[in-house]
Structures are given as C-alpha cells and as structure tokens.
Structure 1
Amino acid sequence: MKAVIMAGGKGTRFWPRSTEEKPKQFLQLASDRATMLQQTYERFRSCLAEEDIYVAVSENYLPLVREQLPTLKAGQLMIEPDQRDTAPCVALAASFLLNRGIDEVIVTAPSDQFIPETAQLMEALRAAESVAEEDETVVTLGIVPTRAETGFGYIAASEQVRAERYGHLIKEVKAFIEKPTKEKAEQLIQDSNIYWNSGIFIWKPSTIAAYMRRYQPQLWSVFQSSGDALKQAYRQLPKQSVDYAIIEKVEKLYTVPIAFLWDDVGTWTSLERIFDTDGEGNLLFGSVYPHGVRRSIVYSENQRIVVIGVEDLIVVSTEHGLLICPKSEEQKVKEAIAALNSDQEDRKG
C-alpha cells in the first residue's frame, strides 16, 4: 500500500494565522513540535516504507514541502500546476503513478487531520486495502460521530456487513449527506449506520482512472498531454471536489467504520478537541490576559491582548490581520475572507 498526502489546500477558515502564502497544513496547529503536514507524513512513515509516501502539492507550495519534508525525493512529489481542488489532484496522482507502472492500492488523504492512534488507523487501512484490491472498488473510512457536527459531510451505510477484516467491519455505502443543519445532524447521529465522511479514500490508481474516464472524461483527457500543454490545461480545470466528481457516483463503494479519535482540523474551535481548556473553558495562546472571559479562543502572535467580559468568542491577532468572531459564526470565516480577497483584487484593478 502507498499513501498520497494532498497538501494543496488554502485553509482560509484558520485566517489570519493560515494565509495563502503559508496555509494551515504548513503550521504547527495541533502540536508545538510539528506542522500538520509533518504529522501526517510521520503517521504514514511509521507504518509504510519511506519510498511509498507521496505528497501532492501545487507549485507555489513546493518550497514549503521541501523545507518541512527534506528527505522526500523528487519522484515522490506530485506537482500540481495550480490549486483546483481534490478531483484534479486525485486524477493527477493516478496518472502520475500509472505512468510509472504503479497500480498498488493507495490511500489519498488530506494533510490536515488529527489522528493520534496511528496503529489503529493502519489496521483500518489494511482492512480497506483488502477490499480495494478489487477492480473499480473504492473504500472510505467512516468516522463514528461523537456530536451533532454541522461542518462535516456524512455517509449512510448499509446495515449488512459485507466482510470483517483485521477486526474491522466493512459496509456498503448507500448515500452521501451534505453538511446538515444542527437539527438534521442531531437526527443523523441517532442512526448507528451514519458516519462522518473522513475524506480518506482507499483505491487503486486504475480504479481512479476508470471512474474518471466514465464520469469526468474532460478532466481525465487533460492527462493525455504533457509538459506546458498539460500545465495550461490543468490551470483551466474547474475547481471540483473528488466527492462530487466521482465518489458520489461510484457503483462499488464501501466504508470501514472507525471509532478512534479523529478530527478534521478545519476551524478554530476544532482546537478545543485537541488541547485542554482552562478552568473557564478558554483556549489561550500567546500574551493573552482574560478578565471574566468564558469558553473563548484567544490567539496572539505578536502583541499583548486584553479581553474582558466576553463568552463564546474567537479572537485571533497576527501580523496578517485581526479576526473577531462568535464561535457560532465561524463557518462564515471562509466566506468573509473570500469577500476580503475579492475586494483587495478589485482595488488593485
């Protein structure tokens, strides 16, 4: 089995700490000793041979990858000409490997997830691998939900168990469910066959190619070219997630339910599930002086911050900007930063 770590995202919901120049996967968010990318790499490195781990990254972040993972060889870097979301990235990975005669099962995984139980993860991946070796078969890890989360997508699995491998059940996926409302999420988690969609997929490069040809022929045709022609065509591809492009259309799709600790480190409040809060439920980073503050996240990079009499608030100050946001509104940070960037581009124009 091989691993492809996808490291091309922008992580805008962690603004202003995560920026376009240095997004969250290159930051020490869940650890004070390693970046998210380094943690993901070490997770796979503990169980796979060094030469079996690849990193897919856009050209502009290549220097950061080389700085943080200096032992990676050039042949382990899958370079995206531009950031076009996960569907083009996965297609690039499949083309890259097939062109080198490699068709063993691969794990395509985000670079920004928190999974401390490495041994349990690898057991689940081995179970998935045993099924993904079949042609045109895709397996995903389904996370047993622990709360009514509105920031994740969900998957609905069959009650019937297809197989049990390495101590893990394998079930058929019946449907995908978009990020739900709070009320809908509370209903979903009452069903024992509902799981969070981890975004981790286990499949063969030839399986990816088959589904790309079937459902995204224009996207896949880009990889029939090479050199500058491929780069130009890639940059023109529409941004599209691999879930929407092919996963939701796959005929042979299964999930391995897992109950160990997992988190998509996508928002500021996700840090509350990784780090211990103080006696008032606060997470404080840097020179922060709270007075009558409860259940808040305050991060200061370069200056002292005094926060008085607030609850359930996110306050982040870095050299790139200042964010003040109620926790309940943090899913809107991405939208707000998109508007900010658009306004800045308009002013430049």
Structure 2
Amino acid sequence: MIAVIMAGGKGTRFWPRSTVTKPKQFLTLASEEATMLQQTYARFRTCLPEEDVYVAVSENYLPIVKEQLPELADNRIIIEPDQRDTAPCIALTASFFLRLERDDVLVTAPSDQYIPETEELMEALRAAEHAAKTDGVVVTLGIVPTRAETGYGYIETIESDEYSSKYGERVKAVKAFIEKPTKEKAEKLIELPNMYWNSGIFIWKPSTIASYMMKFQPQMWSIFDLKEEEFRLSYSKLPKLSIDYALVEKLDRLYTIPIEFIWDDVGTWTSLERIFSTDGDGNLMLGQIYPFATRNSIIYTEQQRIVTIGVEDLIIVSTAEGLLICRKSDEQSVKNAIAALDTDQEGRQT
C-alpha cells in the first residue's frame, strides 16, 4: 500500500493566519511542534516504509515541502504544475504511478487532518486495502458523526443484508453522497444509523482511478498523454474540480469503512476547540491577549496586543496579513469573504 499526501490546498477558512503563500497545511495548528504536513507524514511513516509515502504538491509550494520534510526524496514528490483541486491532483497521481508500472493500492489523503490514533487508522486502511485490490472498487473512510456539522459532506450507506459486503463486515456499500447540509438537515442526518461524514480519504488502485477518469472525465485524463510543455499548459487550464464531484459521486462500486476514532479535518478556527482545551470562560487564546468579560471566543494574535471587553462567541485573529473578526456561527462564510477580497484586490491591481 502506498500513501499519497495531498498538500496543495489553500486553507482560506483559516485566514489571516493561512495565506496563499503559506496555507494551513504548512502551519503548526494542531501542534506546537509540528506542522499539519509534518504530522500527517509522520503518521504514515509509523506504518509504512519510507519508499511508500509520497507527497503531491503544487509547484509553488515545493520549497516549503522540502524545508519541512528534508527526509523526503525528490522521487517521492508528485509535482502539480498548478493548483486545480483534488480531481486533477488525484488524476496526476494515478498517471504518475502507472508510468512507473506500479498498481499498488493507493491511499490519497489530505495533509491537514487531525488523527491522533494512528494504529486504529491503519487497521481501517488495511481493511480498505483488501477491498480496493479488486478492480473498480473504491473505498472511503466514513466518520461516525458526533455533531450536526454543516461544513462536511455526508455518506449514506446501505443497511441491508441483501447488500452486505463480500469484503468483510466493516466494509459497507455506499448508497449516496449528501452535500454539505443546512443546520436543520444536519440535525436530522446524525439521527440516522447509516450516516457518516465524508473524510476525504480514499483507497483505490491507480488503474481504478484511470478507468473512472476515462469514463467520467475523459477530457481531463487525455492531457496526461501530452508532452511536457503542452501538458503543463493544459493542466493549468483544467477546471477546479473536487474528486467527489468529478468521480466519486458517480460510482456504483463505492464502499466505506465507518470509523469512530478521533478525527478532525481542521478546516475552521472552531475546530481548534476540539483539539485544545479552553479556559474557564470557554476562551481559546494565543498571544498577548487581555480579555475582560469575554466568553466562548477564539482569539489569536502574532504581534499586536488585543484587549476584548464584553464580547462573546467571536473569532478574532490578528496577523501581519490582516485582521479577522466574525461570529463563530458565521465562520463558514470566511472562505467566500476572502475570495471576494482577492477578487477586489486583483481588480484594483488591473
């Protein structure tokens, strides 16, 4: 089994700490000692030999990867010419290994997830590997939900003896993917016994990825036969598609393994409250912060001192990049706000 860590995301929901030049996977968010990428790499290296752990990263972040993982050999770095989301990245990964004539089972995993229970993770991956050895079979890890989360997609499995998996009791057939729900819908979904969060971790063979790419994304897949310069130009023009939308939601040989160990995708500021302890007033603070009558807030500052008086349920983040102030309940809107900010800045520059 081969692990490929995808490290090309932008992490805009962690703005202004996560920036275009140094996004969240290269920051010490879930640990004071190691970045998200370093933690993910170490997690797989405890279970897999050095030669079977790879990193896929866009070309602009290559220097950061080499700095943070000096032990990673150049031939284990899969370089994207541009950032085009997870579907092009995974297609590139499949092409990379097929050119090497390696069709071992791949684990394609994000670089920014918090999974402290490494042994339990590997048990699930080994069970998934057994199923994914079969041509055309794709397995994902489904997280047993613990709250009505609106920031994740959901997986509905088939709970019937008629559809019991031949790959073992842990492996369940997937009935449907459900897009990120409203709060009201999420509250209903978590009451169902056959509903799981989509972890974004997929287990499949390069040849399986290739066959589905040829079927569902033939135009995208065709560019991997081009010569270097043509390929680079074509890759940069690919649509930004998630692997869920481009392939996975279309599959009928899709399975999931439910897992109950601690997992978090560390996608928003409030996710840090599930990793670190808050103070007696429910605040999570880092930096020179002086709170008065402040409750249930996340406050982070790198340089400036921050004084808060009479605030509650806020996210306040101050870095050299900028200042963020928002209600916790609105944090899913940070991504859209930063996209609008970037568009405005590009407009002013032109």
TM-score where L is the length of structure 2: 0.98
Q: 2:172: which partner in 1?
A: 171
Q: 2:207: which partner in 1?
A: 206
Q: 1:285: which partner in 2?
A: 286
Say which of 155, 160, 165 aligns to 1:162: 165
SS at match of 1:96: helix
Unmatched 5+ residue regions in structure 1? none
Amino acid of the structure 1 residue aligned with 2:41: Y
Q: 2:265: which partner in 1?
A: 264
Distance (whole Å) between structure 2 residues aligned to residue 164 and residue 179 of structure 1:
29
1:12 aligns with 2:15: no
Amino acid of the structure 2 residue aligned with 1:38: Q
SS at match of 1:3: strand
SS at match of 2:261: coil
Q: 1:254: which partner in 2?
A: 255
1:138 aligns with 2:138: yes
Distance (whole Å) between structure 1 residues aligned to residue 48 and residue 120 of structure 2:
14
Deviation for aligned residue 1:226 = 2.8
Q: 1:327: which partner in 2?
A: 328
Deviation for aligned residue 1:326 = 0.3
Distance (whole Å) between structure 1 residues aligned to residue 251 and residue 4 of structure 2:
20
Deviation for aligned residue 1:164 = 6.4
Distance (whole Å) between structure 2 residues aligned to residue 98 and residue 38 of structure 1:
27
SS at match of 1:114: coil
Distance (whole Å) between structure 2 residues aligned to residue 311 and residue 226 of structure 1:
57
Q: 2:315: which partner in 1?
A: 314
Distance (whole Å) between structure 2 residues aligned to residue 290 and residue 17 of structure 1:
21
1:112-146, Cα deviation, whole Å (9 max, x unpaired) = 00000000000000000000000010000000000
Q: Is the 8 A contact 1:163 1:169 kept in 2?
A: no
The structure with the greater share of residues assigned to strand is 1
Matches within 5 A, 1:16-27: 16-27=16-27
Q: Is the 8 A contact 2:131 2:137 kept in 1?
A: yes
Amino acid of the structure 1 residue aligned with 2:131: V
Q: 1:119: which partner in 2?
A: 119
Q: Is the 8 A contact 1:163 1:171 kept in 2?
A: no
Q: Is the 8 A contact 1:3 1:109 kept in 2?
A: yes
Q: Is the 8 A contact 1:5 1:54 kept in 2?
A: yes
Q: 1:348: which partner in 2?
A: 349
Distance (whole Å) between structure 1 residues aligned to residue 291 and residue 50 of structure 2:
45
1:49-108, Cα deviation, whole Å (9 max, x unpaired) = 011011000000000000000111111010000000000000000000000011000100
Distance (whole Å) between structure 1 residues aligned to residue 184 and residue 166 of structure 2:
33
Distance (whole Å) between structure 1 residues aligned to residue 181 and residue 227 of structure 2:
41
Distance (whole Å) between structure 1 residues aligned to residue 117 and residue 100 of structure 2:
32
SS at match of 1:98: helix
Amino acid of the structure 1 residue aligned with 2:322: G
Q: Is the 8 A contact 1:314 1:323 kept in 2?
A: yes
Matches within 5 A, 1:72-151: 72-151=72-151
Runs of 4+, deviation exceeding 6 Å: none
Distance (whole Å) between structure 2 residues aligned to residue 217 and residue 35 of structure 1:
36
Q: 1:41: which partner in 2?
A: 41
Q: Is the 8 A contact 2:131 2:167 kept in 1?
A: no
1:222-261, Cα deviation, whole Å (9 max, x unpaired) = 1011311110000010100000001011121000000000
Q: Is the 8 A contact 2:315 2:327 kept in 1?
A: yes
Q: Is the 8 A contact 1:85 1:239 kept in 2?
A: yes
Q: 1:58: which partner in 2?
A: 58
Amino acid of the structure 1 residue aligned with 2:304: Q
Q: 1:191: which partner in 2?
A: 192
Q: Is the 8 A contact 2:130 2:167 kept in 1?
A: no
Unmatched 5+ residue regions in structure 2? none
1:152 aligns with 2:152: yes
Q: Is the 8 A contact 2:170 2:257 kept in 1?
A: yes
1:159-187, Cα deviation, whole Å (9 max, x unpaired) = 1341565xx61100000000001110010
Number of aligned residues = 347
SS at match of 2:41: helix
SS at match of 1:162: coil
SS at match of 1:128: helix
Distance (whole Å) between structure 1 residues aligned to residue 294 and residue 204 of structure 2:
48
Q: 1:296: which partner in 2?
A: 297
Amino acid of the structure 1 residue aligned with 2:197: W
1:233 aligns with 2:234: yes
SS at match of 2:139: strand
Q: 1:336: which partner in 2?
A: 337
Distance (whole Å) between structure 1 residues aligned to residue 21 and residue 66 of structure 2:
15
